[in-house]
Amino acid sequence: MSREGGQVRAAEAGRRGSVGHVEVFRMDGVETSIVGRPRRLSADRRARPTYTLIWEEPLYAGNSNEGRWQEFGFTNRIYWSPNVDPNKGRQIGGLIMNKWLNLPSRQYRTYVNGPYQYEKRSDERGRLGYPVTRESPASGGRYNNFQGGAITYKFGATSAYATWGNIRDQWAAQNYELGPLGFPSSDEYLCQDGTTSNDGYESYGASGQNFQNGQYLTSGRRPPTLGYSSVLFSKLTYQSSSQYTTAISQASTAWNALGSVQVTPYDPVNPTLTNVEISDANRPDVTWAGLYSNTDFGVDTIQMNTAKLGNASNQRNVMTHEMGHALGLAHNCKSQLMDPISNSSVFAPQFMDQAAYRQLWG
Ligand SMILES: [Zn+2]
Q: Which tens digits make up the pLDDT trace of 158-202?
A: 999 999 888 899 999 999 999 999 999 998 886 655 444 444 333
pLDDT for 204 beyond 80: no
Percent of the chain with pLDDT over 90: 52
Summarize the chain as % helix, strand, coil (round to 5).
Answer: 25, 25, 55
Strand partners, 136: 143
**Ligand 1 centre from 201 Cα, in Å?**
24
How many angstroms is it from 26 CA to the middle of ligand 1? 53
Distance 164 CA to ligand 1 centre (A): 28
Confidence band for 212, pLDDT divided at 50, 70 and 90: very high
Q: Assess contact for 233 and 328: CB atoms under 8 A.
A: no
Question: pTM (2 decimals)?
Answer: 0.66
Mean pLDDT lowest among 70-74, 98-102, 242-246, 283-287: 70-74
* CA 320 to centroid of ligand 1, rounded, Å: 10
Centre of ligand 1 from the C-alpha of residue 315, in Å: 13
> Looking at residue 21, what is its pLDDT?
33
How remote is the CA of residue 191 from the centroid of ligand 1, in Å? 13
Phi, psi of 156, rounded to the nearest 5 degrees: 95, -15
Mean pLDDT, range 29-38, rounded to an integer:
45
Tens of pLDDT, residues 43-74? 544 444 454 455 557 889 988 899 999 988 87
CB 165 within 8 A of CB 156: no
CB 206 within 8 A of CB 246: no
What is residue 6's predicted lDDT score, i.e. its pLDDT?
29
Calculate how far, in angstroms, residue 252's C-alpha sits from the geometric centre of ligand 1: 17
Say how far apart CA 200 and CA 249 lie, in whole Å: 41
pLDDT per position as a tens digit, 133-150: 999 999 999 999 999 899
> Is a pLDDT exceeding 90 seen at residue 119?
no
- Least reliable range by pLDDT among 44-48, 230-234, 332-336: 44-48
201: nearest Cα among 232, 164, 162: 164
Ligand 1 midpoint to CA 137 (Å): 43
Q: Point out which residues pair with 40 in neighbouring strands.
A: none
Q: 11 or 323: which carries more pLDDT confidence?
A: 323
Percent of the chain with pLDDT over 70: 74
Predicted pLDDT at 235? 94
Higher pLDDT, 166 or 117: 166
Which CATH architecture group holds 235-361? 3-Layer(aba) Sandwich (3.40)
Compute φ and ψ for 360, nearest 5 degrees.
-85, -45
Side-chain-side CA neighbours of residue 1 (13 Å): 22
Dihedral class, residue 83 (left if φ above 0, else alpha if ψ from -120 to 50, else beta)? alpha
Ligand 1 centre and the CA of 186: distance in Å?
24
Within 89-240, strands assigned E span 89-93, 107-109, 116-118, 136-138, 141-146, 149-154, 161-163, 208-210, 216-218, 235-240
Please give the distance, rounded to the nearest whole angstrom, from the Cα atom of residue 56 to the centre of ligand 1: 52
Question: What integer best gives the mean pLDDT of the chain?
Answer: 80
Ligand 1 geometric centre to CA of 241 (Å): 20
Please state which of the ranges 88-92, 168-172, 191-195, 225-229 shows the lowest mean pLDDT.
Answer: 191-195
Strands (E), 66-186: 67-72, 76-80, 89-93, 107-109, 116-118, 136-138, 141-146, 149-154, 161-163
The domain ranges of the chain are 2-87, 98-218, 235-361
Residue 282 CA to ligand 1 center (angstroms) comes to 18
More confident residue, 362 or 310: 362
**What spacing in Å lies between the alpha carbon of 157 and ligand 1's midpoint?**
34
Q: Which has more confidence, 114 or 331?
A: 331
Distance 322 CA to ligand 1 centre (A): 6
| CA of residue 109 to ligand 1 center, whole Å | 18
Beta bridge partners of 89: 80
Cα of 267 from ligand 1 centre, angstroms: 27
> What spacing in Å lies between the alpha carbon of 123 and ligand 1's midpoint?
32
Q: How far is the CA of 325 from the centre of ligand 1 (A)?
A: 7
